[in-house]
Amino acid sequence: MVEPSSPSPDPDDPVGDDLGGECSPSHQWRELFDELAGGLRAFLRNRLRQESDVDDCLQVVFVKMLESVDRVAPAARRAWVFRVAANEAAQMWRSEASRGRMLEKLEKHGDEPTDSDDPIDRVILTETTRKLEESLLTLPAAYREVVSLRIHENMTFQEIADHLGIPLGTALTRMRRALDRLRTEIDQNHL
């Protein structure tokens, strides 16, 4: 299978988004995919036994990236890509699906669980998000500020440190502790 590292613009794109210049979201995703292709491949090789499965998984990840162009905050896109890759690898590992079955499944159920149209899934997702949000709200404001600045303002940790007048290590620590709190919440509630 051809590695989707440098896909050409989609001529069928109805809104011309792919032709809309280097700042279009889909272009940003493509650049991101090219940037992460090496890391993704290394990551997936650790989880899948066959190189062809790695290629298939990369293909699926790329398709899902394009399907989710505007749904993910720019700062969280790398993390999102690896999460999708991990989910897809886990699914492939569990089912040991062939390439054909894998792609067939993608055609039938292209969205990952978080994008489900199933109302029950949406309720569960909403409830999970609410719990995580509540958990983050129990953090000191200084920690939440770092999370918000990093994820939603897309500031680097160095910029955050400069902005808040704190050492870089402190900014990293606050982010890490916020994520630790989420991890605890997820573990305790089996989210």
Partner 1 sequence: MNTSETNQDNSNDERTSVENLCMLYLFGELDSDAKSRFEHQLASDPELCEMLSEQSYLITSAAAATVKRALPAEVRRGKVLSTSGAWRSIAALSAIAACIALALQVVDYSARPADGLALNRTALSPEPDLDESVLIAKAWAASQHATDSTRDDSSVIDDVEPLDDLLDEQPSDLDATLDWIFVAISSGDEKRMEEGNDG
> Among 104, 118, 127, 133, which residue sits at the site for partner 1 (rule: CB under 8 A)?
133
Residue 43 lies near partner 1 (rule: CB under 8 A)? yes
Q: How far apart are CA 116 and CA 102, in angstroms?
A: 18
Q: How far apart are CA 156 and CA 160, in angstroms?
A: 6
Q: How far apart are CA 178 and CA 150, in angstroms?
A: 12
- Sequence-distant (6+) residues with CB within 8 A of 155 are 149, 163
Rounded to a whole number of angstroms, the minimum distance from the CB of residue 111 to partner 1 is 15
- Binding residue count for partner 1, defined by CB under 8 A: 43
Residue 176 lies near partner 1 (rule: CB under 8 A)? yes
Count of positions (residues) in the chain: 191
Binding site for partner 1 (CB under 8 A): 35, 38-39, 41-43, 45-47, 72-73, 75-76, 78-83, 86, 129, 132-133, 135-136, 144, 147-148, 150-153, 156-158, 172, 175-176, 178-179, 182-183, 186
